[in-house]
Amino acid sequence: MNRSRYRMKKRSRRTPSGRTSLLIRNKKPKIAPCALCRTPMGGIPRATRTEMRKLSATQRRPQRAFGGVLCGACTASVIKTRTRLQSGIADETKVPLTLMKYVKMLKA
């Protein structure tokens, strides 16, 4: 048996032929973090890839700007920064580079 599978949940199953086989369950993935502040994001299920594929697009991630990438607070700060840059209130040199990447991605 593969060493990485030792810690996985195991269950004995009896097959129709009468033989017992080992059923190994896959681990659930970790909670998706925000790309900027690394806090756990809400609205994204902790599901494996096969389970995620069965969900509809609206159940996989939030339907808003940067849904599934940034948390709500970081999305709000990106939108505020973008608006301030467009109106001329803020200067582009004073915006952090980590935030600037998402400000440029935001549609005008």
Whole-model pTM: value is 0.71
Contact 79, 57 (CB under 8 A): no
pLDDT digits (tens, 9 = 90+) for 92-108: 888 888 888 999 888 65
Structure tokens at 76: 């709000």
Rounded Cα distance, 13 and 26, in Å: 16
Please give the average per-residue pLDDT across 6-26, as a whole number: 86
* Among the listed residues 19, 17, 42, the one whose alpha carbon sits nearest the alpha carbon of residue 31: 42
Q: Is the pLDDT of residue 63 over 70?
A: yes
